[in-house]
Structure 1
Amino acid sequence: MSLVLPGQTVARGVANGEGTTTKGDFVISTRAGIFDPKTISVRFPEKIEETGILPKVGSLVLARVTRINVRQATVSISVVDDICVKEEFQGVIHVQDIRASEKNKVKVQNSFRPGDIVRGLVLSLGDGSAYFLTTARNDLGVIFAQSSETGEQMFPVDYQHMQTESGFTEQRKCAKPVLDE
């Protein structure tokens, strides 16, 4: 079982259950919650961890982009290693930590937008006010976004673009969909 967000691919080639929908051959979560691969359903977390959970170097996190500038994206971390935390942590993704290759061509505004949900990895404990994160792996990046033009939910079509059901495309640093087998 793992924590999923709306728009996240959870399975492939099976019938969908509660809290999921299908898009082609993929089963996609329609809400945030815990994915149960036995029932192909998403349920709400029964408990939010109140104490003791802190991001550490190497932790996988889910975070919402709160603001961007030319040098970095600032995020609010709400999930650490598949555990929802009661109090959010601040994080920063520097421009050089967005992609593993072509680092000199990366632009923050073409990779993230405020409101995007990002899967990241903690690089370091940061500067005292924010954790430093990276998305420089194929499985890291934007996993959920809404179109800034239409407001529709978008799905990744490749590593650099997300698309709405109506066909509108926007640039992002997309995470490779993770399928629970």
Structure 2
Amino acid sequence: MLATSLLKSNCGQRLCLADKQTISGTGTYERGGYIYSTLAGIVNIKKAEESSVIYVHSINDQSMVPVPGDVVTAKVTIVNQRFCKCIIKCIKDTVLSRPYRAMLRKEDVRATEKDRVEMYKCFRPGDIILAKVLPMTDVHCYQLSTAENELGVVIAHSEAGVPMVPISWTEMQCPKTYVKEQRKVAKVIPENRLNSIM
């Protein structure tokens, strides 16, 4: 196991053993029981609930990278029956210098009744969501979850182009036309954010 959270690495350099306690993150890959760096940069270790995630970011790009457990703000770009594609714009309160691609699968939308989730009734292209980053399974795309009450849609526009107001866990309403649209609504929306979009 690496002893420090800030080491320099070279592309292809073997970093450490890969096991249940140490998993590969952004800028790394796993092969033959070891984790290797995919680029020259700074090695970071972030401790998750039951494991540590090893990731590397370029020396030339000092922006943050999402790691499992982070709550991120993302914009929904594509919605289909099985998943929606998103662009991660912020990690916690930090606006990223470059966005990251992400995917939210149907089974990660809610904690209960996962088989009854209809993606188009939860999200629409253009929605701004809060989501949690899951452990990576694809090197090129982050996996997101909105299975907690505090996660889901925080900003959405109606078909009339007006910012909508949440009225329940599953609905938002256009203040202009009073038309209701279904969404997976996040429980907590800061009052100042609501005032700024109304």
TM-score normalised to structure 2 length: 0.63
- Residues 10-48 of structure 1: CA deviation (Å, up to 9, x unaligned): xxxxxxxxxxxxxxxxxxxxxxxxxxxxxxxxxxxxxxx
Q: How does 1:42-121 map to 2 (within 5 A)?
A: 51-121=62-132
| Distance in 2, Cα, partners of 1:101 & 1:64 | 24
DSSP 3-state at the match of 2:155: strand
Residue identity opposite 2:173 in structure 1: Q
User: Cα distance, 1:179 vs. partner?
Assistant: 4.2
Gaps of 5+ in 2: 1-60, 192-198
Aligned to 2:174: 164
User: Cα distance, 1:91 vs. partner?
Assistant: 0.6
What is the aligned residue count? 130
Q: Which structure's CA Rg is the greater one?
A: 2
Q: Is 1:141 aligned to 2:138, yes or no? A: no
Gaps of 5+ in 1: 1-49
Match of 1:150 among 160, 174, 194: 160
DSSP 3-state at the match of 2:173: strand
User: Cα distance, 1:134 vs. partner?
Assistant: 0.2
DSSP 3-state at the match of 1:57: coil
DSSP 3-state at the match of 2:107: helix
| Distance in 2, Cα, partners of 1:125 & 1:111 | 23
DSSP 3-state at the match of 1:109: helix
| Distance in 2, Cα, partners of 1:93 & 1:119 | 11
Q: Given that residues 80 and 120 in structure 2 are in contact (C-alpha distance below 8 angstroms), is that contact kept between their aligned partners in structure 1? A: yes
| Distance in 2, Cα, partners of 1:71 & 1:154 | 25
User: Cα distance, 1:102 vs. partner?
Assistant: 1.1
User: Cα distance, 1:64 vs. partner?
Assistant: 0.3
Q: Given that residues 63 and 97 in structure 2 are in contact (C-alpha distance below 8 angstroms), is that contact kept between their aligned partners in structure 1? A: no
Aligned to 1:7: none
Runs in 1 of length 4+ with deviation above 2 angstroms?
177-180
Q: Given that residues 121 and 182 in structure 2 are in contact (C-alpha distance below 8 angstroms), is that contact kept between their aligned partners in structure 1? A: yes
Choose 158-167 or 135-144, whichever is displaced more. Answer: 158-167
Residue identity opposite 1:171 in structure 2: Q
DSSP 3-state at the match of 1:124: coil
| Distance in 1, Cα, partners of 2:152 & 2:92 | 16
The CA RMSD over aligned residues, in Å, is 1.3
Q: Percent identity?
A: 36
